[in-house]
C-alpha cells in the first residue's frame, strides 16, 4: 500500500477517534499532589521513588536522555503514562510500525518528546488548563509545543471533558490525567492513563532518490555526487538498492569555501574522479538510514562510519533547555580531526518510510573532509 493511502486512512481514523470518541471517566479520578507531598531533588529521584513511573526511567535511558532526569537544574513539564494502567513496553515496539532503520531508537525518542513541553517551563495543572473549553475543537489557548525544534511545529493539546482533563498528542488517542503536579527538582510530571500519543514522525520532505534530495538544497553537491562513481547508487530508488543510506549534503557556500582552499575551480573538481569519489564517500553512511535521533547521546559523541572513514556526532542538545533567555541548544556537530560541521538539525529528507530500504538526508554547513586539506590539495593537483 502506498504511504499516502496509509497516512490518509490513519489520519481519518485518528480524527474520528479524537472528535467522536471522548473517553469515559471510568479509568480513575484525577488527583492532584497534596500540598505536603515530597519534593524530590531531581526527576530521577522522583521517578525512582514512584512505582508507576519507574519503568519510564528505561525509556529515558534508551533514548540517551537519562542525564536530563539527573540534572537538578532541568525544568520541564512531562505527561508520562502510569505503568499501573498502561504497558510502557509498548513504546519499545512502535518502531516496528514505521521501519525506522535507526539503532538509537529515533521513533521511541520522538514519542517520548511528544510527552514533554518545549522550553523552560514547569506547568502545574491549574496553569495548563484555561478557563474556557471546547469539547469538539482544539482551542489555540490550550495548545503547546512539544519538546522538538520549532521547525517541527509539533503540538500537544490539553482538553477538558466531563470534568476530567486529557492530554492529546499530535496524533493518537487521548490520555487522561490521573495524577497531577508531581515535583522533582524544578520540574513537574503529570501522570496519564495511557501512552498512545505521538507526533508525525516522517521526514519533512520525501524524495525518490538521494540526488533529487541533494539537488534541491545544494546544487553543487548534486553535481559533485553525480560526477562520482557512486552516482548509480545515489540515483537508485528503493527497489534498485539493497542497503539503507544516510546522506550529508553540504551547502553551495560550503563547496565554494573548499574550492577556495584547494585553489581549483568547480570544473577542475568535477573532472577529478578520484577527488570527487573521496569527497562523496565522506558524506555517505552505507547500511543505515539514521535520523537525527540517532546522533543523540547525552554528554557523549556517537561514532559514525562513513564510506571514507569515521565521523563523530556530538549533540549540543539540551532537549529540555536550561537557558530561558537564549533558548535551547539544538545542534548536532559532525567532526573528525580535519573538520567540524553543523548538522542542519531536523531539516531532512528521505524516501517513503513504508518502502525500505530507506535513505535519510541531512544538510551540513561544511564539506566533510576524510583527509587533511594538504592531502586534498595533492589530489587536486595530481595529473589525471
One-character DSSP codes across 108-156 = HHHHHHHTBBSSS----HHHHS-S---TTS--GGGEEEBSS-GGG--EE
For 22-50, the pLDDT digits (tens) are: 333 333 344 445 555 677 999 999 999 99
Range among 202-216, 290-304, 366-380 with highest mean pLDDT value = 366-380
Residue 256 has pLDDT above 60, yes or no: yes
The answer to whether the pTM exceeds 0.75 is: no
**pLDDT on residue 323:** 37
Give the pLDDT confidence of 278-307 residue by residue, as tens digits.
999 999 999 988 876 667 665 578 889 999
- Whether 3 has a pLDDT exceeding 70, the answer reads no
Q: Which residues contact 270 (CB under 8 A, 6 or more apart)?
A: 223, 224, 227, 276
Angle at 135 (CA atoms; ends 126, 107), nearest 5 degrees: 75
Q: Which secondary structure element, helix H or strand E, spans residue 222, and what is its range?
A: helix 219-227
Burial class (CB in 10 A: 0-12, 13-18, 19+), 134: exposed
* pLDDT tens, residue by residue, 262-273: 999 999 999 999
The residues facing 290 across adjacent strands are none
Least confident of 14-28, 98-112, 133-147, 220-234: 14-28
SS3 2: coil
- The Cα 166–Cα 159 span in angstroms is 5
Give percent helix, percent strand, percent coil of the chain, each to the nearest 5.
Answer: 35, 25, 40
pLDDT tops 90 at residue 224:
yes
Provide the 3-class DSSP secondary structure of residue 14.
helix
Q: Domains (ranges, CATH) in the chain?
A: 43-202 (2.30.180.10), 210-380 (2.30.180.10)
Residue range 45-76, pLDDT digits in tens: 999 999 999 999 988 887 767 888 888 888 88
Q: What is the Cβ-side half-sphere exposure of residue 209, based on CA atoms within 13 angstroms? A: 15
Per the prediction, the chain carries an average pLDDT of 76
* Greater model confidence, 8 or 152: 152
Amino acid at each position: 500500500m502506498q504511504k499516502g493511502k496509509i497516512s490518509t486512512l490513519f489520519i481519518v481514523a485518528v480524527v474520528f477517534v479524537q472528535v467522536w470518541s471522548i473517553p469515559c471517566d471510568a479509568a480513575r479520578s484525577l488527583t492532584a499532589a497534596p500540598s505536603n507531598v515530597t519534593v524530590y531533588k531531581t526527576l530521577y529521584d522522583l521517578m525512582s521513588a514512584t512505582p508507576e513511573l519507574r519503568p519510564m526511567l528505561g525509556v529515558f535511558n534508551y533514548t540517551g536522555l537519562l542525564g536530563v532526569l539527573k540534572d537538578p537544574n532541568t525544568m520541564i513539564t512531562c505527561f508520562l503514562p502510569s505503568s499501573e494502567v498502561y504497558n510502557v513496553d509498548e513504546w519499545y515496539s512502535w518502531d516496528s510500525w514505521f521501519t525506522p532503520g535507526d539503532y538509537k531508537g529515533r521513533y521511541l525518542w520522538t514519542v517520548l518528546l511528544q510527552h514533554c513541553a518545549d522550553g523552560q517551563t514547569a506547568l502545574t495543572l491549574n496553569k495548563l488548563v484555561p478557563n474556557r473549553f471546547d469539547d469538539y475543537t482544539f482551542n489555540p489557548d490550550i495548545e503547546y509545543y512539544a519538546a522538538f525544534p520549532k521547525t517541527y511545529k509539533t503540538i500537544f493539546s490539553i482538553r477538558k471533558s466531563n470534568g476530567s482533563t486529557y492530554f492529546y498528542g499530535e496524533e493518537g488517542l487521548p490520555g487522561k490525567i490521573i495524577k497531577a503536579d508531581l515535583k522533582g527538582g524544578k520540574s513537574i510530571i503529570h501522570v496519564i492513563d495511557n501512552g498512545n500519543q505521538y507526533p508525525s514522525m516522517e521526514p519533512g520532505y520525501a524524495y525518490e532518490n538521494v540526488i533529487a534530495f541533494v539537488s534541491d538544497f545544494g546544487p553543487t553537491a548534486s553535481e559533485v555526487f553525480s560526477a562520482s562513481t557512486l552516482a548509480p547508487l545515489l540515483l537508485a530508488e528503493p527497489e534498485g538498492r539493497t542497503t539503507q543510506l544516510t546522506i550529508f549534503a553540504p551547502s553551495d557556500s560550503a563547496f565554494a569555501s573548499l574550492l577556495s582552499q584547494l585553489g581549483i575551480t568547480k570544473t577542475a573538481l568535477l573532472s577529478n574522479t578520484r577527488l570527487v569519489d573521496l569527497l562523496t564517500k565522506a558524506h555517505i553512511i552505507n547500511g543505515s538510514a539514521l535520523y537525527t535521533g540517532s546522533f543523540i547521546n547525552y554528554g557523549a559523541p556517537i561514532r559514525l562510519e562513513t564510506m571514507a572513514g569515521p565521523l563523530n556526532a556530538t549533540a549540543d542538545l539540551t532537549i529540555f533547555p536550561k537557558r530561558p533567555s537564549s533558548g535551547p541548544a539544538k545542534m548536532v556537530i559532525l567532526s573528525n580531526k580535519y573538520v567540524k560541521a553543523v548538522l542542519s538539525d531536523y531539516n531532512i529528507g528521505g524516501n517513503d518510510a513504508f518502502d525500505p530500504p530507506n535513505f535519510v538526508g541531512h544538510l551540513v554547513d561544511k564539506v566533510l573532509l576524510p583527509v587533511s586539506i594538504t592531502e586534498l590539495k595533492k589530489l587536486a593537483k595530481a595529473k589525471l
